[in-house]
Amino acid sequence: MDERREPTMRDVAALARVSTKTVSRVINGLPGAGPEVVERVRAAARSLGYRPNLTASSLRRSDKRSATIGVLFEDLSNPFDSALLRAVEDRARQNGVLVLAGSSEDEPLLQRELLESLATRRVDGMVVMAVGGHQDALQQERERGTPMVLVDRPPTFGGTDSVTTTNRDSSREAVLQLADFGHRDIAFLGDRRTLWTSQERYTGYLEGLAHAGLKLREDLVRTDLKGPDAAERATAELLDRDPRPTALFTAQNLVTVGAMRVLRARDLHHRVALIGFDDFPLADMLQPGVTVVRQDVPALGRKAAELVFARIEGDTSPPVHAVVPASLVRRGSGEIRPH
């Protein structure tokens, strides 16, 4: 992908028909320019896609890099995202690079705002978890020439590396294990349908049912569950059914937490089997321990960081889609037989 020339302050000045000194005053919020001039300069900057460089040139390295990378994930309070960030940080530290991180909260406007903020700080590259169904801002930033790696969710545009896990295959394996233990009524509880990971895990669920010779029961499917509270309500609805499902496949860690709360509150955690996608803290300390599809989060983070650093160093080979295998960790909750 050809790198486009960044517009300069001179470009803005020429388009706005003012001096570079006036542009500098407007960009830095200093007095001395009238309202009409301020608006003309800002309109020119928007038109050109100009962004001020917040890193002082005297502090920049001789190779013109800032020794920083940007990391933009969905929610850094989520154990999965925070562990992923730590893995990227560990790898960046080996390169003497600082990580600037933010949470997009799966909001397109916030993602765009944070991308702009990272870009104005002239980060050398970015590792990003794309907002579900919204990658226009990422594509625009990539087309500016910013080295970028998408993690957990692949790009919908070309020329960009990505790192994901075995979402579909591992989900199929989880459902087949439940079927092997005798379960025929296996419920699915998933995250938002706009997310590629959710779609892949649901497809794996369907494949698992088909391979086990089980028919899909759409009344046992709950999707678009954002967070444990929504998962609690959905789990309660499923368990109120007659007959209720004998097993649950929860396709995201916070969904698993919500489902476990309901099972334990109803004293059903030894009677209803459960396998969750993604591990979470203390999952192995419960009784029974929570059986999970565990992603190799350190490997995901390391691979993403390695790819972005390679691009920063000038690697122009074709884009890579790296897949890091997940594993089924059996702890007891997924090994309960139907009663």
* Helix ranges (DSSP H) in the chain: 9-16, 20-27, 35-48, 79-94, 108-120, 136-143, 167-180, 196-211, 228-239, 253-265, 297-312
Question: In whole numbers, what is the pLDDT of the chain averaged over residues?
Answer: 92
pLDDT tens digits for range 306-328: 999 999 999 999 999 999 999 99
**Cis, peptide link before residue 288, omega less than 30° from 0:** yes
Report d(CA 170, CA 294) in Å as an integer.
9
Query: Are residues 174 and 26 located together in one domain of the fold?
Result: no
In a domain, 61, yes or no: no
Q: Please report, as a single letter, which amino acid is at residue 173.
A: E
Give one DSSP letter per residue of 40-55, joined into a string. HHHHHHHHHT-----S
CATH at residue 152: 3.40.50.2300
Q: Is residue 260 a part of any domain in this protein?
A: yes
Asked if the structure places residue 239 within a domain, the reply is yes
Total number of domains constituting the chain: 3
| Statement to judge: residues 79 and 142 lie in one domain | yes
Question: Do 172 and 136 belong together in one domain?
Answer: no
- Residue 239 φ/ψ, nearest 5 degrees: -75, -15
Residue 273 lies in a domain: yes
Which residue segment(s) compose the domain that 311 sits in?
Answer: 68-165+297-324
- Please indicate, yes or no, whether residues 222 and 275 belong to a single structural domain of this protein: yes
DSSP class per residue in 174-219? HHHHHHHTT---EEEE-S-TTSHHHHHHHHHHHHHHHHTTPPP-GG
Question: Is the pTM of the predicted complex or chain greater than 0.85?
Answer: no
pLDDT tens profile 91-144: 999 888 999 999 999 999 999 999 999 998 889 999 999 998 889 999 999 999
| Residues 240, 262 within the same domain | yes
Assign 4 a pLDDT band (cuts: 50, 70, 90): low
pLDDT digits (tens, 9 = 90+) for 252-304: 999 999 999 999 999 999 999 999 999 999 999 999 999 999 999 999 999 99
Residues 157 and 184 both lie in one domain? no
Is the per-residue pLDDT at 60 higher than 50?
Answer: no
- In a domain, residue 193? The reply is yes
Q: Does the pLDDT at position 215 exceed 60?
A: yes
- Does one domain contain both 173 and 264? yes
Examine residue 244 and state whether it is found in any structural domain, yes or no. Answer: yes
Q: Is residue 63 part of a domain?
A: no
Angle formed by the axes of helices 9-16 and 35-48, nearest 10°: 120
